[in-house]
Structure 1
C-alpha cells in the first residue's frame, strides 16, 4: 500500500486508495462485506468511506445499514485505532422536508449537521470520525451557517477534518474563504464523481458534478485540499459487457479514450480498471479513488493498480485522446 497525508501536512496519514462501503449491509451481505474490509486492512488499507444515508434507496433499507455494519466490523476487529474513518451529512432523507428526493434530504443547516454527527457516531459506535463530508450543496441555508456548524464539530473534538462532496468549485472556495476569514477549520478534502471518461457536453445542471479541470486546478493551487473520487470504475462498465456505459459517458468522444485505454492496458499487461486507477492516482493532482467493490476478487484487482506506473508517453496519450 502507498500512503499520503489528507488535507496537507497537518492531516491524518491515509492509504492511497479508499474503500467505499455504500452497498455494505444492503446489496452486499455482512459476511462478504467483512471479507472485503478484512482484505483491505490486510493489504495496508486504512481509509474507509461511508455515509449516514447508505443505501436508503435499496429495497427495505433505511440508510442506517452501511454505518451500522462498519461499526460492527470496527468493534469485532478492534480496528478503530488504525482506520481513518470518513462519513457524510446532508443527504439523509428527512420526510419533514417534502416528498421530492431533492427536497427530501436533511440538508446542511446547523441543527441538521449536529443531528447528523450524533446519529453517525451512535451507529458507528465511536466518539469521533476522522473526516466528515458536507454531502451535496444545500443552498436553502446560508453558507456561513454550514461552515460554522461544521467547524464546531472539529472544535468539540467529534470530527478531525472537514470535507465537501458534490460541491461546485466556487462554493467550495467560498466556504474555505469564510472559514479562513473567521479563523475556523475549513474544508480540506473534496469528493466528486471522477473517472477517466469525460461526461457529454450539455448535460442538465445538477449538484452531483464531475471533478473537472476547474476543481483540479484549484486543488493544484491549494495543497491543503485533497481530492477524492467516487464512481471511478463506473460500476464495472469499463470491463463488463453486461454493464453498458452510463448515459452521461455514452457519446462519440468516449470512443477514442476507450481505444487508447485498452491499448495502454495491453502494453502494461494490466486491466483497463487498473489503468484507470493508476491514471487517477498518478496525475499532476493525485486523486484518492474511492473503490466501489462487492467482492474480494474485485478488490484485489484494484489493489494491483498500486504497482502500475504509467510512463509519460502513456499518460500523454491517455490525456489527449
Structure 2
C-alpha cells in the first residue's frame, strides 16, 4: 500500500472511515474490516465523537467506543493513526446540529477528554474541528487546540468543513500567537464535481473548492504543508450502482463527460471506476488521501487494490480536463 505523510507521521495513503463501526456495522464485521485493513498495510483510521447520533438507537459515541475496544483487544498502540473530530455532537439528546457542542475553549477541552477516554489513549493522534462554529472566534478555537497540544493530549490538529478564509484566519492566528497551526484538512471530494452554487443535500458537508486547492498549493510553496483528506470519495456507491442516485448538485453536463472519460481510463487500466477515482485523487496536486467507508471485505479490498494503481500523467490529465 502506498504511503503519505500526516504531519511528521508516515501513514497509508488510504484512510479507513469508521463512522458506522459499532453501530450500523456490527462489532464482528467492524473488527474484521479493521483487521483486514491493518493486515494490508493500512495505518490511518477516521472517526468522530458524534458518530452516529442521527441513527435511531445510537447516541454518537459508538464509533470511538468501538475503536477503543478494538485497540485494546488487538494490542494496537501507535502503529495505527486514529483521527477524530469534535464540535458537532448534539448537547441535547434527540436533537441535531442545532444544539452542537461547538468549538469554544470549554467545549473543545471537554470533548477532547471524552474522546481520549473512549479511544483509550493518552494522546489523540489527529483532532479536527468538525464543523464551523460561527458563535466562537476562530482565534479562541485555535488557542484551545494549541493548549491540548501543549498538554500532550493531541499530536496534530486539523479543520474539517471550514471555508478557506477561516483556514487562513486560523493560520494567521496561530502564527501571531506562536501556536501550532491546523495541518490536516478534511472535506468532501471526489472525481465528479458538484455545482458549487447549489448546496449539497447532506447536512454539514462542505466540498473542496478550487480556492481551497490553490490555498494548499500556495501554502506548500511557502513551506507550510497540509494533508488534505477527502470523505465520500465514492459517492456512496453511485459510480457503480444504478440504485444509488447522485445528489442534484451533480446534475450538469460535466458529469456525463467526466463519466465517459472515467470509463475510458478504467478500460485502459483494467481497473474499476471506483479504483480509478481513488487513484486519481491520490495522484492529484495537491495529493488527496481518500477516506473510504466500507461495509464488506470485498469493498475494502477493491479500495486497497486502488493504492497500487498508477495512472499515467496523460490519463490523469485527461480525467482532470473533462468538463
For normalisation by structure 1, the TM-score amounts to 0.95
Separation of aligned partners in 1, 2:228 and 2:196: 23
Q: CA deviation at 1:81?
A: 2.2
Q: In the alignment, which residue of structure 1 is the partner of 2:232?
A: 231
Q: What is the SS of the residue equivalent to 1:222?
A: helix
- Deviation sequence 1:183-238 (CA, Å, 0-9, x none): 01110010000000111242148863211111111111223211000010011110
Separation of aligned partners in 2, 1:238 and 1:301: 13
Unaligned runs of 5+ residues in structure 2 are none
Matched, 1:43 2:40: yes
Matched, 1:84 2:81: yes
Q: What is the SS of the residue equivalent to 2:307?
A: helix
Separation of aligned partners in 1, 2:232 and 2:63: 17
Q: What is the SS of the residue equivalent to 1:36?
A: helix
Matched, 1:111 2:135: no
- Deviation sequence 1:149-182 (CA, Å, 0-9, x none): 0110000001000000000111011101100110
Separation of aligned partners in 2, 1:183 and 1:234: 39
Which is worse superposed, 65-74 or 252-261? 252-261
Q: Is the contact made by 1:167 and 1:208 (CA closer than 8 Å) also made in structure 2? A: no
Describe how 1:129-144 pairs up with structure 2 within 5 A.
Answer: 129-144=124-139
Q: In the alignment, which residue of structure 1 is the partner of 2:259?
A: 258
Structural RMSD (CA): 1.5
Unaligned runs of 5+ residues in structure 1 are none
Matched, 1:3 2:3: yes
Separation of aligned partners in 1, 2:34 and 2:66: 11
- Deviation sequence 1:242-268 (CA, Å, 0-9, x none): 211122223332111111111110111
Describe how 1:114-125 pairs up with structure 2 within 5 A.
Answer: 114-125=109-120
1:126 corresponds to which of 111, 115, 121? 121
Matched, 1:240 2:235: no
Q: What is the SS of the residue equivalent to 1:132?
A: strand
Q: In the alignment, which residue of structure 1 is the partner of 2:273?
A: 272
Q: What is the SS of the residue equivalent to 2:78?
A: helix
Q: CA deviation at 1:100?
A: 6.6
Q: Is the contact made by 2:199 and 2:249 (CA closer than 8 Å) also made in structure 1? A: no
Q: What is the SS of the residue equivalent to 1:5?
A: strand
For normalisation by structure 2, the TM-score amounts to 0.95
- Deviation sequence 1:258-317 (CA, Å, 0-9, x none): 111111101110000000000000012100111111111101000111111111221121
Separation of aligned partners in 2, 1:143 and 1:306: 36
Separation of aligned partners in 2, 1:204 and 1:34: 35
Q: CA deviation at 1:106?
A: 0.5
Matched, 1:32 2:29: yes
1:60 corresponds to which of 30, 52, 57? 57
2:206 corresponds to which of 204, 209, 212? 209
Extract structure 1 runs of 4+ deviating beyond 6 A. Answer: none
Separation of aligned partners in 2, 1:133 and 1:102: 17
Q: Is the contact made by 2:90 and 2:97 (CA closer than 8 Å) also made in structure 1? A: no
Separation of aligned partners in 1, 2:146 and 2:79: 24
Q: What is the SS of the residue equivalent to 1:95?
A: coil
